[in-house]
Amino acid sequence: MGVRRQAAMVSAAAFVIVTAAIGSNAVTSQSTADAVPVRGHTNPESISAPTGLSRDWIRALAHQRIKHVFVLVQENHSFDNYFGLYPGTGGQRVENLGSPIARYDDCVPDPEAGIGVCQRPFLITTNKSNSAHYVPDAPDITDGANDRFGQQYAVDGGKMDRFIIENEVSNPLTSQPTPLPPSPSPSDVENHNDALNIMTTYDCDTLPYLWYYAKNFALFDHYFQANTGDSTPANVQLFAAQIGQTEVAAGKEPYGISTDPPGVNGYTNGLPLGDDNNPPPLQLSFVSPYTGATPQQVISVASLPMLLNPRQDRAAVMAGVEGLIPDDFALEANAHRLSYPWAWYEEGTYAGSPVSSTAFSPHHEAPLYFDYINNANSPFGTAANLRDNTVTNGLLADIKANALPAAGVYWVKGGAHGTTYPFVPADPGLVGVYVGTDDHPGVDASDHQVAEAYVATLVNAIAASKYWQDSVIILTWDDSGGMYDHYEPPRYGATCPDDATGYFAGMPCGDGVRLPLLVISPFAKTGAVVHDASDGGSIAKFIEDVFELPRLGSLPDEAAGVAAGLAPADLNPYTGDLMGALDFDKLMGSASLGPAVSPIIPAPSVPPKMSCASLRLTPLTSPGAIPAGFETAGWYADHTPPALRRRAARRHSDAGD
């Protein structure tokens, strides 16, 4: 009997213990459909089972001590892609590419390489002394298929074996890849290498800043995207703990737009979100205009700002801006709670921003999808809530001016296809080719050393400010970008409306592929690897617990979804609330605040000045060798004549998914 099957047989028992972590805000009146045991791979030895008592104490202390929560949301990387070789410290176990589960079946079929050939994850590094794994332009790759269909096809019911196939053909339901000819053309080799980018993994020579945070703060190794799908649903999920399933369950989806015919994989546009539709037509004059991309999608469900700010809820009721959730607004407008400020920072948001035409990616800006925010009369849709994130008019400037409120929640995103931050790729040939900071792989997107330098700049600013002493920084990535991960995602809840019929009939809306998540804070455990079962809903739970808010899933307009087993992810009893990252003694004040070293990385640069040697970390041995003839997407772009680079950009980019 395989490792995965054995784990699946005991998964229900393992997760019964985890339910104790939910605490006093849990809503217990869920339907049987929503409370079905998790399906999918769960190794009981890899999941922490914190006691309810200790977590209740930590929640109470977190509410007292934490005033600012920063959610830094980068783009499109799986856990194995960034931390698959991370060894942990102090003998801690990490669910990495050296684990028994990974070694059991991490060789992924690669039909273009030959019948019966498979490819194991392989290290690419900027360290030239590691000649077996050095490749030029290692930080400059492209990613894979990461829409709902692509993720589910790659995961293959938990076998995790179709990642390469999904990227070798445009539609694996109508055709399958075949071996390349004995003497493949340069184009064939290039396209095959593009498919193999998703099997790469990095080390602390290439991404030392991220590994520095892992070594000195808290890294989660069982954190998953709470839905399957690419950036639009992923960012909406982080803002509202769902992708519109409660709206569908309540029969309130007049906004579902299906201007495109059903695709060959059977999916249509509309809700729940599963693809990168643009937001609805813009009604906010201060936001950078967007046109052209269709279809456009609007959503009307409760979001975290509704819970955070009853004052804005009252103003929305008075203005008649309640969308399709009037009962939620009526309840929250009368809530006797403090109102906490919030903001979504994204580079290029403002019309007139120096990078509005390049950095701004409207399908990354979750608030714009909500009918009660993207509305000219909305008290939520203001320049105080939707912020630019340029160097001179964004989070850095607000921190420098001490302009942040005394408490609040801030989602922060970088630039998609341009930036004002002073970083460029180390390879001069890729300056102006890899141009973003949000970490999205692909030509015209982000060099990953640039992206981590941008993150370090934000963390440095927070850590050097007066806000650090009561802050938690949550650093995560919105979705996997189609990058390989060996660990089977859990599956929660009833059948997703997207999959009532079709190839994946019966599949729930989530979870998606495993992602990195780090908690950086003066209250964080030092060098901890946290094994708590977590997903995007855990971020919502953390915010709700810190600010003593109700669960989104407890609101009245979400009740139909809860009854149908389609509850928001913050009501999932099988996932934690990120409190496992916090140190009880630091929260109590009985230990000195902060880790043994500073969170500040001096003068972030590209290339970085840190390395595995300076961090005193030894990565695991790469599971696989670099395939013969492999080059990154960045290498191809660097070797493409300038006149042809626009065509190369189309070939090596997935349009900002």
Average pLDDT score over residue span 592-614 = 89
How many angstroms separate the CA atoms of 272 and 289, rounded?
25
Answer yes or no: is pLDDT of 507 > 60: yes
Q: Is 590 helix (H, G, I), strand (E, B) or coil?
A: coil
Instruction: Sort 35 into a burial class: Cβ within 10 Å, 0-12 / 13-18 / 19+.
Output: middle
Tokens of 50: 């914190």
DSSP per position, 360-375: --GGG-GGGGBTTTSS
Contact 11, 45 (CB under 8 A): no
Polymer length of the chain = 657
Where does the pLDDT of residue 44 fall: very low under 50, low under 70, confident under 90, or very high at 90 and above? very low
Window from 23-32, 127-136, 463-472 with minimum mean pLDDT: 23-32
Tokens of 481: 């970008």
Average pLDDT score over residue span 492-509 = 91
Tokens of 267: 């999916």
Domains defined along the chain, listed by start: 3-652 (3.40.720.10)
What φ, ψ does residue 157 adopt, rounded to 5°? 65, 15
pLDDT at 270: 78
**pTM over 0.95, yes/no:** no
Secondary structure letter of residue 348 according to DSSP: T
How many angstroms separate the CA atoms of 342 and 123, rounded?
39
pLDDT at 294: 59
Contact 481, 445 (CB under 8 A): no
Angle at CA 227, nearest 5°, toward 155 and 366? 135
Of residues 290 and 486, more confidence is placed in: 486
Contact 300, 273 (CB under 8 A): no
pLDDT at 650: 43
Greatest pairwise CA separation for the chain in angstroms:
72
- Mean pLDDT, rounded, of the chain: 88
Tens-digit pLDDT profile for residues 358-416: 899 999 999 999 999 999 999 999 999 999 999 999 999 999 999 999 999 999 999 99
Window from 72-81, 234-243, 521-530, 641-650 with minimum mean pLDDT: 641-650
Q: Position of tokens 């840190």?
A: 610
How many angstroms separate the CA atoms of 48 and 160, rounded?
24
| Closest alpha carbon to 530 in 543, 519, 538 | 519
Tokens of 296: 């456009």
Answer yes or no: is pLDDT of 33 > 70: no
What φ, ψ does residue 518 adopt, rounded to 5°? -120, 145
Window from 214-223, 242-251, 264-273, 309-318 with minimum mean pLDDT: 264-273
Cis ω for the linkage preceding 56 (within 30 of 0) = no
Where does the pLDDT of residue 296 fall: very low under 50, low under 70, confident under 90, or very high at 90 and above? confident
pLDDT at 258: 39
Average pLDDT score over residue span 140-165 = 94
Tokens of 31: 């339907």
Q: Which amino acid is at 135?
A: V
